[in-house]
Structure 1
Amino acid sequence: MVTPSKKMLGVLLLCPLWAGEAVALPSDYVNTLRGSNSGGGYSRGNTFPATAVPFGFNFWTPMTDANSTSWIYDYNRSAIQAFTISHMPSPWMGDRQTFQVMPQTGSVTADRASRGAAFSHANEIARAHYYSVRFNNGLQTEIAPTDHGASWRFTFPSTSSYVLFDTVDGKSGSLTIDQANGVVSGYTDHSTGWGPAPRMYFYARFSKAIAESQKVSGQRAVTSWVRFSTSPGEKVTMAIATSFLSVAQAQSNLEQEIGAKSFDTVKQEAQNAWNALLGKIEVEGATEDQKTILYSNLYRTFLYPNSAWENVGGTPRYASPYASGHPVKTGKVYVNNGFWDTYRTTWPFYSLLIPTRAGEMIDGFVNGYKDGGWVTRWSAPGYANIMVGTNSDVIFADAYLKGVRNFDVAAAYDSMLRNAATYSSDPARGRKGMDRSIFLGYTPQDRVGESTSWSLEGYLNDFGIGQLAQALGKTEDAQYFLNRSLNYVNLFSPSVGFFRGKNTNGTWRTSDADFKANRWGCEYTEGNAWHYSVLAPQDGQGLANLYQGRSGLANKLDAMFSAARDYDVGCYGGVIHEMKEAYDVNMGQYGHSNQPAHHTLYMYNYAGTPWRTQQRVRDVLNTQYQSGLGNGYGYLGDEDNGELSAWYLFSAMGFYPVSMGRPEYAVGAPYFTKMTVHLENGKDLVINAPNVSDTNRYIQGVSLNGQAYTRNYLPHSALANGGTLDFTMGASATNWGSGASDLPPSLTTGSAAAQPLADVAKGGIISASADNAASGEGSAQGFDDNSLTKWLAFQSTPWIRYQLAGGAKTVKMYTLTSANDFSGRDPRSWTLQASNDGSTWVTLDTRTGQDFPWRYQTRAFAVNNNTAYSQYRLQINETHGDSITQLAEIELLGR
């Protein structure tokens, strides 16, 4: 078989006869069982066979454990206990807003173990647009999805046929059966441990009259059944839809999306929807298994995030998961995303292939910020205290810089500022440790666990904020956050050659003698020092300089692959599944099984050795992804919201977004002889590598639109505007792309390590016109690197002065941080002055009409100054109306 052309695909999408076509459709290759041979102790994806429309409101899936809210489908089990509506983003986050359906024959059984129906995978079809299973007893269930609903078709083998309705133990709800009209409706309340979710309402109707119905006593809240009088082999359909607003809206959703459509029509429309997206990539030179991997990965990438809004009389409305009581709002909202995972691959993939939808989804998360004051770190659907980094920051910035504009950029930028510049007392909102990390230049391990990961992810996101600020003309913010993105140097330890955890007082978490690069946890999230050893792609040259130059960076990367693959359980205290999977990757300490490593191979481009990228990326593509046909395998490690899948897709195309926040991609090498990417603007990106193979994996030369191309990175515009990339491949490594002018750009130029501006107000003498030292709110608290303390002056126009230790220094920026108390006490207007003798003062900066929208907010101000001074004085000229002045922290940033 061959993959259809775009023109042919358009013809086939109109054809109702899917089976027996001479040309396979992309959706025919999707295997939703990939990754389902998993559990809490070992992950080959930790997925479940979700049938849905792209980015849909609901998932529809079989359950081999009808009382699980995590591992609901296990490939190794031989019986299905229910089919369910699901909204599960990950087994680790758990399911919510569920409702179960189980067809039965002969007699009804509510007990889950007893009602489980035996089946064989040979009688199971698991596609994105269609799920079907024929049980050993002859009963068949088929499901075809819409956005908010699904059409079900049951084929009953006997005259006594039932459909049982159920929910997970302990979950409340209500169910009403309108036997006369063949309708079942009600609601379930099913949240997760990450906070309450809106109530889910459902409305279902059957194609056949209900002969009998009953509520099952002594069971769960909604456990009920309906019986049909059927002839053997008779088909009964059920149309069902859900809503987070009301039963009436669930009924409306059903009418909008299904109405009087037949099961086959619904199935065809779902397949059309998937082919429209899956068909964006055509491939030549792929085996049948490779096509299964490719299109199944596309399915996973386009499965998340999920819409959570509904069409109410032509207006988009949603029950907000971010505000107390879930008030109904106007607009669109999206949920189900772990940004720590997905910022690396899926979001840049959306910006390239479906930029309009990307903007709509981003705006959906920005709406969450408007409702709840913060963007979630992990949407499930509301705020969850899990994983590190506020990675929506770099997602939003990257999309904007790649031309995505259809989202509220101003609100998105505000959300980024709040994440990066304010302390949050709620561990589920914002970045942890911001009361100290802003001023120390790193997150201290003695205050925040996994501190090195928090720090490194913070620098990446600060880079994204700086890039967006620059694009929006916010020059002071750009200067400040780009400077902060260089603070990775603060955590690099030359004595051990790794990034490592540092305490508040500046000491390392461990002594050099006790440091182990293969020790998991402690200052690292789901990894060790090796996994985080090159996590500074925003400044590849500066990173190389820490390793004594480009050759040193190349050697460090090589050492990662040659290192023993063993692990020390470290602060986890025992083996976690990520350790076992990383071991089984069998590539030294390179852990492709988890997200922190996914940029690593492309860092060879910064080292000037892109042939290593070409070599190793192909090794990963060959060994770390499986079709899952016949065994439920697919990945090593958790396939979080499409992230592992999108890594494969980018790498197979021959490029990768290694430095998020820059509109560019590092070049790897194509995996197939030809890939054609159909872009949203109607143009095609054609990637040719006619002689590529496992042997011919090295680039000999590249041309872009017929012109020789030597840089080992590609600008976004070269791809997004369509064009042709021609790769000449060979069996020997070459020096293509290795020249100094061929490397991706970095913040640092030259051979020295980065030297970010830092607070020079350390160890000096502080004085003020008004002090409140007796109450612990004196002038010293204004310079103590802690935004939870403050300088409180019982004046509306006080001054505070700092005499530097060690002589004069040049201050280029300064920061002021609002305190906890009334905003009326915040400075509104002020002057910064400098002196070398304490009597003659020079005005460096004057500000008026300034605001601090949030408590504990740090704002930065640039100073046009090249002179070194030994004393600096801040004169407050006006507050926001109060007679008392407060500031939590003052920094003088210089060198």
Structure 2
Amino acid sequence: MLSLFLTTIAVSGALQIVAAQNSTAGNSTTDWTRYVDPFIGTEGSVPGTAFNGGNIFPGAVVPFGAVKIGPDVTTFNSSITVNAGYTPDGNVTAFSLAHVSGTGGGPVYGVVSQMPLASLENVNLLDNLTYMATRSGNDSASVGYYKSTFNNGIVTELAASSHTGFLQYTFPGKEDGHILVDVSHYLPSYGGGSQSQFYSNGEITVSADGKRYQGYGVYRGAFSQIPAYQIYYCGEFESAPKSSRVFSGRYTDPYWPTTFNEQTIFGNSSTASGGPLTYQYGDRVGAIFDFSPDTITVKSKVAISWKSTNSACQNLASEITHWNLPDVVTDAKKLWNDEVLGKITTTDLSNQTRLEMFYTGLYHTHLMPTDKTGENPHWETSEPTYDDYYTFWDTFRCLNSLMLLITPDRAAGIIRSAIDIWRHENFMPDGRSGFYNGQVQGGSNADNVLADAYVKGLQYGIDWNDAFSAMKTDAELTPYNTFDPADTTSSTKEGRGALPDWLNLGYITPLYTRSLSRTVEYSLNDFAVAQVAKGIDPENYEKYLNRSAGWQYLWQHDLKSLNFTGFLAPLYANRTRESAADYDPLDCGECEGSSVAYEALPWEYSWTVPFDMETLINFMGGNNATESRLDSMFIPGLRTNGVGVGGQNGAGTTLFNPGNEPSFSTPLLYNYLPGRQWKTVLQTRNTVNTYYNSGKSGLPGNSDSGALDSWMLWQMLGFYPVVTQPVYLLGSPWFTDISMAVGDGKRLSITAQNLSDSSYYVQSVKVNGQAWNQSWFTHDDIKDGGSLEFVLGSSPTAWDSGLLPPSPGHVTTSKTF
């Protein structure tokens, strides 16, 4: 209802962003946001475009905020599809409130928008090509703040709270200024196929004085191939416009694509509707607000909800109760410092570039998923509600483990939300947006996240009995086939679609797509189930542990590649294989959903069994042969096919792909070889120095909700998690001192003596004051705080002479053919 709008007293004054107060480094009042550059990772390998870049959202947002307010930019080149709304070059079509960050797949959201216009001359409100704006110079941004200047003289500044966006426009003042609200605006996908997004319907109502408006939009498609998602909005201006009008018009694309130059229809009422709520082919609707030339500054606040217009108006009334944009920015910075950035601090401020890389990476890891607690439109729940998982396949390897340490309440909330989805929809998500499960890329990877939390003792209200039941569902129940055009062999929405082969044979045959990568991933999934079964259902522990050895079936001991013998290879139901002439572990075709391996070469997947490195090293011929094979992963020029070659999801030409997740743990695997931990340090440092930087193109691929950033963060911290195990592998820190939050109020101290650009090899380590000769430690060693003390030097040493990291998934029964 319009009566729910909050009337506020205008606070005048030009925007003056308050500078961060400098204080002693490491102090709780330090403003760590000054080291965050929201543009890192926004540019790809083609300068000026987002193609093959991080797809980072650079706009204004609070941690996990439902509102991510920023520009929607389009350009007619390789960046024509922009997942986060932003590309460095191109023209602005709107500023919208809902975005995701760092994702691949089809774009979603870019909805609930405003667009400032300097003139309506030659403008067709149904065609953004007639009004999209060119920008004057580069946009600017800091944590909680975004600014864009158009060549027509309009300046737009943005800020945000959890559910509300603040928009401030400065017009040239020569003639009327206009604000366009186009309900049908969304992020398009050109050539996106089944993951293309479309507008379906909408409604807008404007108050009599034009100060307030509200309504909803209905959209479908996108990454989750959503039947329909409905988002409600509630907006107001600080001062009433000179005039306002609602409009409608035919939605020509895609419904009537042969109809050109469709004209706007202005109505006499205060409401424009696309038709009945359930109608999927509604007219486009919107409103135009006109401000006189003497109104130089126009301020607006818009709130969103996924449940109702009333909820959106309540969010508007409660979250930002004033008209002072600098205060909104200050509040956002405080949230980021208190909830995220202050969780890891240092007094080593000697390297500005390194600080910007680190704290921007930490910032990226807490943009997604989206906290929509209290906003679930499908069922009432007292559980936390998170959406926009993009995806557990990306984040389970090390990002969720980072949250578990420094923001355990958020880590638990995400897990509780996934379990709640299982309660009502039968499966936990692997990917999800718009409250619908999305693409499953491999296995049921929520299992890995849950197991990692369980073995590390995370509680925070998690019902572990329900958690195990959800995991058993993944392990035992075949999801219905969605007959996705991209893969008609099994479900692409949830669960393990190739489960019939897994249960009957113990591995996946080429009857299903991604048979090699899914076999490896189902193995890890069942190892994860076994870890929780050990405490919840001990009688079934051995069952799932034995099933986790299924990857061994695919190991072809006599298969040769690059002078090495033994690789993963597809296996048919009758135990036969492809001929050597037809199968090459250096190739996976397009390496997509219809390929033998997903987004990584078989060479890469042959390393992805962290739960049973003992068996893998034995299969590879022992320590020396494994070391040589690992060394080969980092030789430039060996990757000539597959992911990243001429396309997205990859960087460089080594077999190790720093731009995608399957290779994440590979450089750390030297820790499983006695006396070779120094090579872990060498390869991880080379990777960060070569592929990460503090520029717009500072990420080697899609951030994937912060997954790539989290990998870099772990290297800089000096240790790395082995997911589903309470184990961390030691690396080498990048700062002389670090204070890191672990759990509730505890701190882990990490120090690096003799650290320099040429002195970074580990000479000795102490864990909690105890001399250490193992290249790993356990979660119990740090869960209550403690210390890691490194002494570094310029030359490698074989200091790691102690016990090797465990292989708890080691099953001695041979399953190879």
Q: Whole-Å Cα distance in 2 between the matches of residues 714 and 660 of structure 1?
A: 13
Q: Secondary structure at the match of 1:85?
A: strand
Q: Secondary structure at the match of 2:66?
A: coil
- Aligned pair in 2 of structure 1 residues 65, 172: CA closer, same or farther (>3 Å)? farther
Is the aligned partner of 1:208 residue 2:229?
A: no
Counterpart for residue 68 of structure 2: 59
- Aligned pair in 2 of structure 1 residues 304, 387: CA closer, same or farther (>3 Å)? same
Q: Which residue, 374, 382, 406 being the options, matches 2:427?
A: 374
Please report how far the alpha carbon of residue 97 of structure 1 lies from its aligned counterpart in structure 2 after TM superposition.
Answer: 7.1
Please report how far the alpha carbon of residue 491 of structure 1 lies from its aligned counterpart in structure 2 after TM superposition.
Answer: 1.1
Aligned ranges for residues 227-626 of structure 1 at < 5 Å?
227-231=290-294, 234-260=296-322, 262-276=324-338, 277-283=340-346, 284-310=348-374, 317-320=375-378, 327-337=379-389, 338-380=391-433, 381-405=435-459, 406-426=461-481, 427=491, 428-445=493-510, 447-472=511-536, 474-496=537-559, 497-508=566-577, 510-520=578-588, 521=591, 522-562=595-635, 564-569=637-642, 577=644, 580=647, 584-586=651-653, 588-608=654-674, 609-626=676-693
Please report how far the alpha carbon of residue 493 of structure 1 lies from its aligned counterpart in structure 2 after TM superposition.
Answer: 1.0
Amino acid at match of 1:394: N
How big is each residue's C-alpha offset from its partner over 1:495-528, in whole Å with a ceiling of 9 and x where there is no partner? 12111111111112x2124332220233210121
Amino acid at match of 1:744: P
Aligned ranges for residues 602-751 of structure 1 at < 5 Å?
602-608=668-674, 609-628=676-695, 632-657=696-721, 659-739=722-802, 741=803, 743-747=804-808
- Aligned pair in 2 of structure 1 residues 308, 698: CA closer, same or farther (>3 Å)? same
Counterpart for residue 94 of structure 1: 107
- Aligned pair in 2 of structure 1 residues 505, 58: CA closer, same or farther (>3 Å)? farther
Contact 2:93 2:133 (8 Å CA) reproduced: yes
Tell me the TM-score normalized by structure 1. 0.76
Contact 1:356 1:404 (8 Å CA) reproduced: no
Counterpart for residue 146 of structure 2: 131
Contact 1:70 1:95 (8 Å CA) reproduced: no
Q: Whole-Å Cα distance in 2 between the matches of residues 227 and 500 of structure 1?
A: 65
Aligned ranges for residues 19-98 of structure 1 at < 5 Å?
19=19, 21-22=21-22, 25-38=31-44, 42-65=51-74, 70-71=82-83, 73-88=85-100, 90-96=103-109, 98=111
Q: Whole-Å Cα distance in 1 between the matches of residues 166 and 85 of structure 2?
A: 21
Is the aligned partner of 1:176 residue 2:182?
A: no
Amino acid at match of 2:573: T
Contact 2:604 2:656 (8 Å CA) reproduced: yes
- Aligned pair in 2 of structure 1 residues 171, 99: CA closer, same or farther (>3 Å)? farther
Q: Whole-Å Cα distance in 2 between the matches of residues 370 and 197 of structure 1?
A: 21
Q: Whole-Å Cα distance in 1 between the matches of residues 17 and 596 of structure 2?
A: 56
Is the aligned partner of 1:146 residue 2:164?
A: no
How big is each residue's C-alpha offset from its partner over 1:738-777, in whole Å with a ceiling of 9 and x where there is no partner? 44x2x1111367xxx8316899xxxxxxxxxxxxxxxxxx
Counterpart for residue 260 of structure 2: none
Counterpart for residue 801 of structure 1: none
Q: Which residue, 86, 89, 112 being the options, matches 2:128?
A: 112
Q: Secondary structure at the match of 1:64?
A: strand
- Aligned pair in 2 of structure 1 residues 149, 601: CA closer, same or farther (>3 Å)? same
Q: Whole-Å Cα distance in 2 between the matches of residues 205 and 397 of structure 1?
A: 46
Contact 1:318 1:332 (8 Å CA) reproduced: no
Tell me the TM-score normalized by structure 2. 0.83
- Aligned pair in 2 of structure 1 residues 309, 578: CA closer, same or farther (>3 Å)? farther
Q: Whole-Å Cα distance in 2 between the matches of residues 579 and 719 of structure 1?
A: 43
Amino acid at match of 1:134: T
Contact 2:349 2:355 (8 Å CA) reproduced: no
Q: Secondary structure at the match of 1:223?
A: strand
Structure 2: tracts of 5 or more residues without a match: 1-15, 24-29, 187-197, 249-262, 265-282, 482-490, 560-565
What is the percent sequence identity of the aligned residues?
28
How big is each residue's C-alpha offset from its partner over 1:393-429, in whole Å with a ceiling of 9 and x where there is no partner? 0101111221211222222211110111122233022
Q: Whole-Å Cα distance in 1 between the matches of residues 113 and 388 of structure 2?
A: 21
Amino acid at match of 1:440: L
Q: Secondary structure at the match of 2:599?
A: coil
Please report how far the alpha carbon of residue 578 of structure 1 lies from its aligned counterpart in structure 2 after TM superposition.
Answer: 5.8
Deviates more, 1:371-380 or 1:279-288: 279-288
Counterpart for residue 254 of structure 2: none
Amino acid at match of 1:671: W
Please report how far the alpha carbon of residue 353 of structure 1 lies from its aligned counterpart in structure 2 after TM superposition.
Answer: 0.6
Contact 1:319 1:329 (8 Å CA) reproduced: no
Q: Secondary structure at the match of 2:221?
A: coil
Amino acid at match of 2:387: V
Contact 1:172 1:188 (8 Å CA) reproduced: yes
Deviates more, 1:58-67 or 1:369-378: 58-67
Please report how far the alpha carbon of residue 18 of structure 1 lies from its aligned counterpart in structure 2 after TM superposition.
Answer: 3.4
Please report how far the alpha carbon of residue 181 of structure 1 lies from its aligned counterpart in structure 2 after TM superposition.
Answer: 6.0
Structure 1: tracts of 5 or more residues without a match: 1-15, 311-316, 321-326, 570-575, 760-895
Amino acid at match of 1:719: I
Contact 2:599 2:649 (8 Å CA) reproduced: no
Amino acid at match of 1:199: Q
Contact 1:49 1:126 (8 Å CA) reproduced: yes
How many pairs were matched up?
711
Q: Whole-Å Cα distance in 1 between the matches of residues 17 and 133 of structure 2?
A: 30
Q: CA RMSD in A?
A: 2.5
Amino acid at match of 1:84: S
Amino acid at match of 2:37: N
Tell which structure's C-alpha radius of gyration is larger. 1
Q: Whole-Å Cα distance in 1 between the matches of residues 639 and 816 of structure 2?
A: 38
Q: Secondary structure at the match of 1:27?
A: helix
Q: Whole-Å Cα distance in 2 between the matches of residues 515 and 243 of structure 1?
A: 51
Contact 2:179 2:289 (8 Å CA) reproduced: yes
Counterpart for residue 888 of structure 1: none
Contact 1:37 1:44 (8 Å CA) reproduced: yes
Q: Whole-Å Cα distance in 2 between the matches of residues 17 and 97 of structure 1?
A: 26
How big is each residue's C-alpha offset from its partner over 1:785-813, in whole Å with a ceiling of 9 and x where there is no partner? xxxxxxxxxxxxxxxxxxxxxxxxxxxxx
Please report how far the alpha carbon of residue 469 of structure 1 lies from its aligned counterpart in structure 2 after TM superposition.
Answer: 1.1
How big is each residue's C-alpha offset from its partner over 1:685-744, in whole Å with a ceiling of 9 and x where there is no partner? 1111132233222110001222211111121122232122111111111111244x2x11
